[in-house]
Amino acid sequence: MSRWLPQLPAWAGGIRLRHLVHHTAALPADSKIDAVITGRTTAGIIRALTRFPVLDRRPGTEHVYSNAGYVCLAAVVERAADMPLPDFARRHLFVPLAMADTLYWPGPDPQPPGAAPLARLHPAPLSLGDGGVWTTLSDLLRWGQALNADELGISGLMQTPGHLDDGTPIDYAWGIGVRSHAGHRVYRHGGGWTGLRALHARVPGLDLSVALMAIDDHTERRVPLLDSLLDAVTGRPQP
């Protein structure tokens, strides 16, 4: 990782991009980064990482979810492609899939023009990679349809679970959790912020894509709701 982000401490030399993809990079916990952050932007998070001279464990030895890891990945994409991530995503993802209402938003305003704002005291973060995508339910379902049909030619890679350096498998692929339900493989990822809950899940074997977004919702009903829907679709008896 140090090749792409040379401003990070020496520990970055032991982190591979695969570690970031599968959350095995051993980066400082998100709570520790939040405690020293000066602004929830990409630059702010990377700047916060420079304040940790050593890591608590060796990269590749444990799967621990890291928002900062995906912020680093987004920064790597920008440097490798030599263009801002919003432009790269629009050119290679959103335009080819006709997702006209989807974009990455780095600010400076808390939300893009025309978007529904989140809670006033907790505006959406402006970091990219760990979030930063603004979309609609119809576009999110279009994304799931495209991945189920492998329209971008990347679904096989995205759905491949990762592993620790010693070969131990983990239930996380490329940006998506890997689960099973009634014998079907399920790929899903959810997210939340103050005043927002979201979840996207796919079951390629059933050609099924499910999206849920709720504004002004502080509950944690996403996964139970998804499981109930999958029970209904698969005919699995409910308790």
Task: For the beta carbon of residue 91, count every other beta carbon within 10 angstroms.
Answer: 12
Q: Is the pLDDT of residue 224 over 90?
A: no
The dihedrals phi and psi of 107, each to the nearest 5 degrees, come to 100, -165
Q: Which segments of the chain does DSSP mark as H helices, in order?
A: 17-21, 30-36, 42-49, 67-81, 85-89, 137-148, 155-158, 222-234
27-77 per-position pLDDT tens digit? 999 999 999 987 789 999 999 999 999 999 999 999 999 999 999 999 999
Rounded CA-CA distance 18/135 in Å is 27
Cβ–Cβ under 8 Å, residues 16 and 24: no
Please give the angle made by the CA atoms of 101, 102 and 107, to the nearest 5 degrees: 115
pLDDT digits (tens, 9 = 90+) for 112-157: 999 888 877 677 889 999 999 999 999 999 999 999 999 999 999 9
Confidence of residue 235 (pLDDT cuts 50, 70, 90): confident
Q: Residue 201's closest CA among 231, 217, 222, 183?
A: 222
